[in-house]
Amino acid sequence: MLENLSQFGLHEAFWFFLALNAVIFTGSVVGCLVLARVYGGRRIFDRWEPWRGIEMAAALGSILLNAAISAAGWWLWKRGSIALVPSTVPRAALDCLVMILAMDLGMYAFHRLAHHPWVFALVHRFHHRHEATNPISLFVLHPAEVLGFGGLMLVFLVLYPMTLGGLLAFLFLNVAFGTLGHSGVEPFPERLRSVPVLRLVGTSTFHAGHHRTPGHNFGFYTLLWDQLFGTLHPDYDRQFRHPRPCSSDAS
Ligand SMILES: [Zn+2]
Ligand SMILES: [Zn+2]
C-alpha cells in the first residue's frame, strides 16, 4: 500500500484521500444509525438533533479539509518529515496507546481553550449547536477545529516515528470514538466502570455529557485528563450506569 501511495502525485493523493474520507464519513453515519437501532434501550437523548442544511454543508467542508490534511501528511511522509517504521504487533499497540494519550491531552487542552468565551463565540459554538447529537455531529465543526485537530496530529507524527499498524489503529479508533460519542446511545456495559484501566475509556455517555453540560468532560478518548484536572461531570457514574433518554435541554 505504501509503495503505491509513494507513486502518487499531489492531485492523485488528494483525490484518493477525498474518496477515503467520504467512505469514513459514510461509515460513521451508518455506524451511528446502526448503534442507535441496536442499543435503542440505552438511549442518552430522546431525539436526534435536526439535520440542518448549514450543518450538512459544514460536514462536507470537514470531509474536504480532512482530505487536504491527509494529503499534507502524505506529502510530509514522502519528503521524509514523517517516518513510518517497520511494524510488530506489540510495537503497533504501544504506538497506538501513546498516540491516543498524547492526542487526548492535546485535544483536552485545546478543547478547554475553545470554551474560553471569545474562542467559543468565534469557533466552537458551531459544534455545540447540537445540544443533542445526530449521525453527522462528529463532522459539524468549524473549519478552524478541523485544521486544529489535523495540525495536532501532523505535529505528533513529525515528532514521533510511528508504525503503520499503530497509525491505522489510532485512525480507526479516532473515528470509532467520535461515532460512539455522537450516537446518542450507550453501547458499553455497566460493568465497564468496575474494570481497572478500562473504566477510563471515553464512553458515549462521556461525550454526550459534554454536549448536555459543556463545562464538563473535555477529553475525547479517555476520562483520564478530566479526572486529573477535576472537570469530569460529578454525576458521570450514575449517568453511565443508568442511561435514561434525556431531553437535550436538561442539565
Ligand atoms: Zn461532540
Ligand atoms: Zn465543547
Q: Does residue 131 sit within a domain?
A: yes
Calculate how far, in angstroms, residue 17's C-alpha sits from the geometric centre of ligand 1.
23
Query: Is the pLDDT reported for residue 250 higher than 70?
Result: no
Mean per-residue pLDDT of the chain: 93
Cα–Cα distance list, 133 to 121, 139, 207, 209, 219 (Å): 20, 11, 10, 11, 17
Q: Is the pLDDT of residue 79 over 80?
A: yes
Measured in residues, the chain has a length of 251
The answer to whether position 34 is within a domain reads: yes
Residue 248 lies in a domain: no
pLDDT over threshold 80, residue 227: yes
Q: Is residue 33 part of a domain?
A: yes
Residue 249 domain flag = no
- CA of residue 124 to ligand 2 center, whole Å: 6
Alpha carbon 164 to its chain centroid, in Å, reads 20
- The DSSP H or E segment spanning 84 is strand 84-85
* CA 22 to ligand 2 center in whole angstroms: 24
| Residue 160 resides in a domain | yes
Q: How far is the CA of 12 from the centre of ligand 2 (A)?
A: 35
C-alpha cell recorded at residue 101? 494519550
Would you say residue 139 lies in a domain? yes
Note the ligand closest to the C-alpha atom of 202: 1
Q: For residue 6, how far is its CA from the centre of ligand 2 (angstroms)?
A: 37
State mean pLDDT over 78-84: 94
Please write the tens of the pLDDT for every residue from 161-175: 999 999 999 999 999
What string of DSSP letters covers 52-78?
Answer: -HHHHHHHHHHHHHHHHHHHHHHHHHH
Structural domain includes residue 250: no
Binned at pLDDT 50, 70 and 90, residue 247 comes out as low
Looking at the predicted structure, is the pLDDT value of residue 245 above 90?
no
**Which pLDDT tens digit goes with each residue over 14-73?**
999 999 999 999 999 999 999 999 998 889 988 899 999 999 999 999 999 999 999 999
Going from the Cα of 136 to the center of ligand 1, the distance in angstroms, rounded, reads: 10
pLDDT band, residue 249 (cuts 50/70/90): very low
Confidence of residue 178 (pLDDT cuts 50, 70, 90): very high
Rounded Cα–Cα distance for residues 154 and 91 (Å) = 20
Of 242 and 210, the structure prediction assigns the larger pLDDT to 210
Q: For residue 85, what is the enclosing H or E element? A: strand 84-85
Residue 8 pLDDT exceeds 90: no
Phi and psi at residue 163, to the nearest 5°:
-85, 150
CB atoms within 10 A of CB 90: 9
What backbone torsions phi and psi does residue 8 show, to the nearest 5 degrees?
A: -65, 150
Q: Which ligand is closest to the CA of 124, given by its number?
A: 2
Cα-to-centroid distance, 181 and ligand 1 (Å): 7
The alpha carbon of 35 and the centre of ligand 2 are apart by a number of angstroms equal to: 23
Domain with 11 in it: 2-241
Return the closest-CA partner of residue 145 out of 106, 203, 176, 173.
106
Say yes or no to pLDDT of 110 above 80.
yes
Q: What angle do CA 176, 72, 165 make, to 5 degrees?
A: 45
Q: Would you place residue 246 in the very low, low, confident or very high pLDDT band (cuts 50, 70, 90)?
A: low
Place of cell 462536507: 60
Ligand 1 centre and the CA of 157: distance in Å? 24
Kindly give the distance from the C-alpha atom of residue 78 to the centroid of ligand 1, in angstroms, as a whole number: 33
Nearest ligand for residue 112 CA: 2
Instruction: Say what percent of the chain tops pLDDT 90.
Output: 84
Distance CA 223, CA 225 (A): 6
Cα of 184 to ligand 2 centre, how many Å? 16
If you measure from the C-alpha of residue 148 to the centroid of ligand 2, how many angstroms do you get, rounded to a whole number? Answer: 14
- pLDDT score of 141 more than 50: yes
Q: How far is the CA of 81 from the centre of ligand 1 (A)?
A: 31
Distance 170 CA to ligand 1 centre (A): 19
The number of folded domains in the chain is: 1
